[in-house]
Amino acid sequence: MSTITLIRHGQANSSARDEEGYDRLSDLGHQQARWLGEHFRAVEEPVMRVYSGTLRRHRETAAGMALGLPVVEDARLNEMSYFGMAEIAERVHGLKHPGDREEFARHMPKLFKLWQEDALPAAPEGFDAFEARVAAAMAEIAQGAGPAVVVTSGGLIGMVMRQVMGLSIETMAHACLAIMNTSVHQLHPVAGQPILVQFNAVPHLDVPERRFARTHL
């Protein structure tokens, strides 16, 4: 079993109201990725494998990090369809789409609970299916040779936290809300099990002149 470092993508188009509109990095998102890549090349232990989801924001982040290795793209590492589920929740349950970060923080736990309870008719993907594909992808990567970097999204990282730490659906939602753009999360094998040893670190932004770049949306 290998060490896995999960990276959330850089800041995307936070003003979007649909999946396609959201799925591209902002100028700051590109810069966050470059800074993180510089940190990895200068400080972190050597990486032997790089994976990413197939979404544009994943690809752009992995490319910006420029780790000098081929990137293996895997659709199992893609984000849940948050916008699609939010539209269903508003239409069926009257759960209003969030307009700002405070509303988003109240919206996510409610949406996740409806999703887990299979109360979102015709959702793009069921909760159990999402949980299963994340578990399968992570197990496969963990069995590979050498430390791996995985560029993905906050919802997938939250699901990994749920699986590794046994989080409730509400606590998983709260973990997702905390995850910053280009943050670093590391799982290390201990006695044949993945153990969380780092969560939501942004070492590439830990200087005063880069604090403005600590973003969540």
Arithmetic mean of pLDDT, 153-173: 97
Which pLDDT does position 101 carry in this prediction? 81
Which pLDDT does position 140 carry in this prediction? 97
Q: Say which residue the tokens 């069921």 belong to.
A: 126
Which pLDDT does position 70 carry in this prediction? 97
Per-residue pLDDT of 100-112, as tens digits, reads 888 889 999 999 9
Q: Is the pLDDT of residue 19 over 90?
A: no
Q: Are 173 and 158 in contact (CB under 8 A)?
A: yes
Task: Grade residue 18 by pLDDT with cuts at 50, 70 and 90.
Answer: low
Arithmetic mean of pLDDT, 144-159: 96
Q: Can you tell me the distance from the alpha carbon of 114 to that of 104, in angstroms, rounded to the nearest whole number?
A: 15
3-17, 82-96, 169-183: the lowest-pLDDT one: 3-17
How do the residues of the chain divide into helix, strand and coil, expressed in percent and rounded to 5? Answer: 50, 15, 35
Residue 148, classed as helix, strand or coil, is: strand
Please give the backbone phi and psi of residue 3, each rounded to the nearest 5 degrees, phi first.
-70, 135
The pTM is what? 0.94
Q: Which domains does the chain have, with CATH numbers?
A: 4-80+125-209 (3.40.50.1240)
Sheet holding 71-73, edge to edge: 71-73, 49-52, 148-152, 4-8, 184-190, 193-201
Arithmetic mean of pLDDT, 58-85: 96
Which pLDDT does position 35 carry in this prediction? 98
Task: Grade residue 97 by pLDDT with cuts at 50, 70 and 90.
Answer: confident
Arithmetic mean of pLDDT, 80-93: 95
